[in-house]
Copies of this chain bind each other. A is one copy, B any other.
Amino acid sequence: MIRTNPKLLDYAKNLLEKQPTKVSVTDYKRKGEIMGQGHRYPYVGIIIKGIVKCYINEANGKAFIQEFMTEGMEVGELEFFEKGGATCSVSAVTSVTILEIPHQLFKTLLDEDLTFNRLILESLADKVRYKAPRHAFQTSYSLERNIEKMGELYPDFLKVLPKGDIANYLGVSARSLNRALKTLREESNT
């Protein structure tokens, strides 16, 4: 539920150690904007530390969170493949450290390092694979079951993530989330 990619994290750390001059590292504080929907960035980011949310803001003011990500997950890689503004905004849920790989280096690694190439392929495949069951479950089951599922995948979610973010991840209003949480509380007191 908060996604991670240990292999890519290892690769990223190694890259930082071996080629420190070719990449850069940026820190963001809680609520800082890492990427803004529609903007361009000349690098692909890999999360070294912290939790981010990746989300879309709709014209009507609603936001929908695609995924929460932490160590080893990529951000901004879609924009490498199709130039154009970022599809999603990315912002820091906790304080965050990002490794930035300039597009040019990213391209070189993709073309010349088969290991890296495979890591990126798998990372993309993972993102596709993740979304399918998630959205299927979300539309097929009650809000209560969805909340229970979050609890199974990540028991501390209520302590770590703000309620508003949880609601935006589940695609419901904060009011509905609260109602469902209350129902669950009452059920467990029986």
Contacts and interface: CB of A to CB of B under 8 A. Distances in A.
A132 B56 contact: yes
A30 interface: no
A81 B122 contact: yes
Contacts of A126: 81-82
A121 B124 contact: yes
B128 A64 contact: no
Interface stretch (A91-99, A134-142, A158-166): A134-142
A68 to B, nearest CB: 14
A139 B62 CA distance: 9
Given A78-B129, A87-B133, A131-B131, A60 B124 contact: no
B114 A114 contact: no
Given A58-B140, A140-B58, A128 B128 contact: yes
Given A87-B129, A117-B117, A135 B64 contact: yes
Contacts of A110: 121
Interface in A49-108: 55-56, 58, 60, 62, 64, 66, 77-78, 81-82, 87-88
A38 to B, nearest CB: 12
A136 B78 contact: no
A36 interface: no
Interface of A: 55-56, 58, 60, 62, 64, 66, 77-78, 81-82, 87-88, 110-111, 114, 117, 120-122, 124-129, 131-133, 135-137, 139-141, 171
9 contacts: A56-B132, A77-B125, A78-B125, A81-B121, A121-B121, A124-B124, A124-B125, A131-B131, A139-B171
